[in-house]
Structure 1
Amino acid sequence: MPPLDLTLCMIVKNEEEHLAKCLDSVRDLVSEIIIGDTGSTDQTMDIALAYGARVIPLKWNDDFAEARNKTLDQATRSWILVLDADEAADMWDADVVSKLLVSDERIAGYFVPLISFYGDFNEEDYFTDAVCRLFRNHPQIRFKGAIHENAADSVLELTRRPIPYAPLQIKHYGYLQSEIERKNKHRRNLELIESSLNKDPFNPQLRYALGTEFYQESKFNESLRHLMAVIEQNPASGYMSDVFLKAAFALNVTGQCELSEYVTDMGLASHPGFTDLLEFKGLLKAQKKDFEQAHEWMMKAAEQGKADPRYSSSSGCGTYRTHWLSGRICEKMLQTGRAAVHYMHALYLNPDYHPAWADALHLSLLEQNSGHFKEWIHTLQKPVSKKQQNLLVSAALNAGREDWLDVIAEMPDLGKTRQVWIEMMRQYAPQPGNSLYSELLKASARWPDDAIWISYLWVSAWKAGDREAADRAAEQLKTIHSPLVPVHAFLSGQGNISLPEPVALTALQLFLQCRAYAQIHQLLKELYKQTSSAHPLPSSVIAGLLSAPAYVLTKWCLDWLPASPPPQRSPSLEEILLYTSFALRCSSSSCLDDALRLLVDYADNPYALAASAVCLTEKAKHRHSMSVMSGIQLPKLLRAATLRI
């Protein structure tokens, strides 16, 4: 098909990194390219000329609309497409575009969904918006606004009818962190918006733009000053859905929870079916511990599905992210079966969604039933990613699950080093004594500088009770600047050393994978020195701790909290639930009594009440030989109590 009756209009400055990709995406569609250059000093103009573009120099007057309109003035084709250099047409079909250009004389322009990626580049992290970038070459259709300029208003003024949506997409890379830092966009935008607001202080679009700039910098109080003002003005504009969503979130973050819910309800009243607000309403209900209502709102979002193109939306809302959140809410209600279904649904919709991977795996490990998850891995239509593989290996080793290690061993691209290491851990880690250290020492000659081998050699030396070997391995840790060096000093009793939580947790997992039980409990007590932990123990760690032999669990329980004298600190609920789980596994009646006494301090917490019921049921079974069944499993209750939504 020959090029269409379509002109591409752009404004650029120093865009040599992106321009070719943008022009490649439309070179077979457009018959004319007009590029306004506002002062490039790199190879931008050479690239533009190589694609046959007509380049016109533009004086930059801090006004995007002015610059864009000068390129529109040069267009000679019947229709105009506007792109930025950091954008690209997403595999547009020429036949589809051609039909749009000749479909209806009353149509003067189209909204096109804009997919903006953010953070570090990841196809999973994006938000959507609708922009009027495809419109007729008409003298009355021009951009308005010095920044966040739009042509939609002039199209509406010309036609007096709603602007239809085109079945096309534009991908936008300008919100990636690297691009924001490279162009210093935030500072530039603030200066332009504030300058424009000085001339037009009540302009709602400019106030929305300024509120958005502060929002993206996490300056939520400053953002709310402008977003709430726009809500009061309530202009009839397509960006209002985004105003309600950003304002509701900012209010919640700043502790104004009731007002946040009020604004959410306002937004839903004026934008029914706005998926992101439906999901956010569910999160607000979960925040209030009203999990039944939270799940209902999540289901409304899931039923709505992917947001209507006229609403700003974020990746996964109404689809995989909503189902993942629904799974967490079900776990909070101790409905683990329903939670597993939601996690699997999320993975069906997006097999690469890591949060659902992690939760599905950890929940199955606590249930001691990973059959469904293993089946899922075997039926995947694509290979397991490196990130997922790392998660599986770590979780399987933490929990001591040989069946999972069997699955991992069958994975392609596992790597020879990892294959040998996993097989050695599977064979020798469960054995007491120095067998693991001896085998690792033999194998380490093949990988003398490998951080993994050095770390596990050090851990296995501690397990073997060989302090000289542990000291030698610690010297090697110093040469690779390992964060485990202070852990060695801590275990050696070298002064009053307090370990940072991330370091203690990393070390705990390494010792757990090697089944070095004496050091595990030292590190566990160190983690719980403070009454609250910033990060709950991973479920795979809990599963691994609970797999320890009964005599080990009994020793841990007795060492944790003697009946007298009274404890010098108040244990956190997480800590109490963990040791109560130990007591149930090893049938320690005295520790159950201690747990019941401590759980009284958390009488208002539903998970503490449920744990008390489990303890009392267990005591009844022991003391009266009663066949009492409890439907609550403490490990899953512990996970639910510490799970964050």
Structure 2
Amino acid sequence: MISISLCMIVKNEEDVLQRILSCAKRFCDEIIIVDTGSTDTTMDIARKYTDKIYEYEWVDSFAKARNFSFSKATKDYILFLDADDIIDDKNIGEIIKLKSKLESTYDVVTMKYITATDEYGNPTFSFKRHRLVKRSRNFLWYGNVHEYLAVNGKVLDTEISIIHKPTSINKKDSNRNIKIYEKMIKEEVEFTPRDLFYYANELKDHKRYQEAIDKYVAFLVTREGWIEDNIRACIYMANCYQILEQYEKEIDCLLQSLSFDIPRPEVSCRLGDLYKKRLQYQKAIVWYKIALEKEAENNMGFQLKDYSTWYPHLQLCVCYWHIGDKEHSEYHNQKAKEFRPNDKRILSNEQLFMRK
């Protein structure tokens, strides 16, 4: 059986830290906490679970802090988690099983990271992360913000899920990341393609839409981005143009994403929405059907399940109704209901079908 070191970096996490540590103690052989300047009871909570607590002076670099935490690990494999993550009983059981059967030839284990769920608990946004790594490989983190772990070797892909679940109390500085990027600009630090992409995301989130578009373009021009980031850049640019009411450019960006790979369900639905808005229902139907087809083989890519499940079915219900095909309209409404049984729109459609 392998042994696991949990490595975490924290700051002012008193509202969530006990929640994740109570999960981790069930399968981790060592818990390492690196505190970057807490002023609340975070350290007191951590001491209930481990004596391996280290204070670390924050230097505006998540990668450096994570690398410091990794340097303190002593077990076979290193697991990283954030304080506002949770792991349910089912997935804790899967990790315990993994510990007992994982062959030491594996260098990396991927797990699913669920960052958003709907009211039914269904994942709406998820992606895979290199979550468990062999300590002897000395893998390192890179990037001041939105850091990534550079890995190679033999990889085991799993469906084990970790859920990101912040509390309603949000003590995070919403300007923290953009401040770090703008400090890098001031210090004339050369941005990597990844930096450009995530800086553009921060600009978008801060409603600086034209600046965000410029950075997405600069990112794509490098032609060095990860394929999934390239596609997201096109989608996010389309979002910016939509808000700026430049709809033709919105379409151009969505279509540009097709140059990188087969259509992602989100892109297909967005194009379907645009045709539906123009009352071109037959064309909209084509795109919604594409969204329901088999997704691209992008195990590490972003998955927005709404766009490949209930949403295109609901829109197909509307489109078929408008072209007079009641049978297909009812069929797709029922398929949407399988995912959202209490959705008022779907129930209202059922009433309409009965009246007609």
Does TM, normalized by the shorter one, top 0.5?
A: yes
| TM-score calculated relative to the size of structure 2 | 0.87
Contact 1:113–1:131 under 8 Å retained in 2: yes
Find 2:231's aligned residue among 227, 241, 247: 241
Tell me by how many angstroms 1:291 deviates. Answer: 1.7
Question: Which one-letter code corresponds to 1:200 in the other structure?
Answer: V
CA distance in structure 2 between the partners assigned to 1:296 and 1:99 by the alignment = 48
SS in 1 for 2:306: coil
Q: Which residue of 2 aligns with 1:111?
A: 110
Map 1:88-103 → 2, pairs under 5 A:
88-90=86-88, 91-92=91-92, 93-98=94-99, 101-102=102-103
Contact 1:275–1:304 under 8 Å retained in 2: no
Find 2:335's aligned residue among 345, 361, 371: 345
SS in 2 for 1:128: strand
Q: Aligned in 2, Cα 1:130/1:246: closer, same or farther, shift over 3 Å?
A: farther
Q: Which residue of 2 aligns with 1:275?
A: 265
Q: Aligned in 2, Cα 1:291/1:193: closer, same or farther, shift over 3 Å?
A: same
Find 1:62's aligned residue among 60, 63, 71: 60
Query: Which of structures 1 and 2 has the bigger CA Rg?
Result: 1
CA distance in structure 1 between the partners assigned to 2:98 and 2:37 by the alignment = 32
Identity among equivalent positions (%) equals 24
Q: Which residue of 2 aligns with 1:252?
A: 242
Contact 1:87–1:171 under 8 Å retained in 2: yes
Contact 1:242–1:311 under 8 Å retained in 2: no
CA distance in structure 2 between the partners assigned to 1:239 and 1:57 by the alignment = 34
CA distance in structure 2 between the partners assigned to 1:80 and 1:305 by the alignment = 31
Tell me by how many angstroms 1:137 deviates. Answer: 1.0
Deviations 1:75-128 (A, max 9, x none): 01121111110112342313542267426x2x422333221138x987457422
Q: Is 1:172 matched with 2:164?
A: yes
| TM-score calculated relative to the size of structure 1 | 0.50
Q: Is 1:225 matched with 2:214?
A: yes
Contact 2:46–2:53 under 8 Å retained in 1: yes
Map 1:430-509 → 2, pairs under 5 A:
none
Q: Is 1:212 matched with 2:201?
A: yes
Contact 1:19–1:47 under 8 Å retained in 2: yes
Tell me by how many angstroms 1:273 deviates. Answer: 5.0
Q: Which residue of 1 aligns with 2:151?
A: 155
SS in 1 for 2:24: coil
CA distance in structure 2 between the partners assigned to 1:310 and 1:271 by the alignment = 14
Tell me by how many angstroms 1:345 deviates. Answer: 0.7
Question: Which one-letter code corresponds to 2:262 in the other structure?
Answer: P
More strand by share: 2
Find 1:187's aligned residue among 175, 189, 196: 175
Q: Which residue of 2 aligns with 1:361?
A: 347
Question: Which one-letter code corresponds to 2:238 in the other structure?
Answer: A
Question: Which one-letter code corresponds to 2:62 in the other structure?
Answer: F
Tell me by how many angstroms 1:361 deviates. Answer: 3.0
CA distance in structure 2 between the partners assigned to 1:360 and 1:275 by the alignment = 21
Tell me by how many angstroms 1:267 deviates. Answer: 1.7
SS in 1 for 2:145: coil
Q: Which residue of 1 aligns with 2:189?
A: 200
Tell me by how many angstroms 1:23 deviates. Answer: 1.6
Contact 1:8–1:32 under 8 Å retained in 2: yes
Q: Aligned in 2, Cα 1:129/1:53: closer, same or farther, shift over 3 Å?
A: farther
Deviations 1:451-505 (A, max 9, x none): xxxxxxxxxxxxxxxxxxxxxxxxxxxxxxxxxxxxxxxxxxxxxxxxxxxxxxx
Deviations 1:402-433 (A, max 9, x none): xxxxxxxxxxxxxxxxxxxxxxxxxxxxxxxx
Runs of 4+ off more than 6 Å: none
Q: Is 1:317 matched with 2:316?
A: no
CA distance in structure 1 between the partners assigned to 2:143 and 2:191 by the alignment = 14
Question: Which one-letter code corresponds to 2:266 in the other structure?
Answer: D
Structure number with greater CO (CA < 8 Å, separation at least 6) is 2
Aligned length: 351
Contact 1:340–1:360 under 8 Å retained in 2: no
Question: Which one-letter code corresponds to 2:33 in the other structure?
Answer: I
Q: Aligned in 2, Cα 1:140/1:239: closer, same or farther, shift over 3 Å?
A: farther
Contact 2:95–2:160 under 8 Å retained in 1: no
Q: Which residue of 2 aligns with 1:458?
A: none
Deviations 1:339-366 (A, max 9, x none): 22212111113324x2xxx223333444
Contact 1:307–1:313 under 8 Å retained in 2: no
Unaligned ranges ≥5, structure 1: 371-632, 634-645
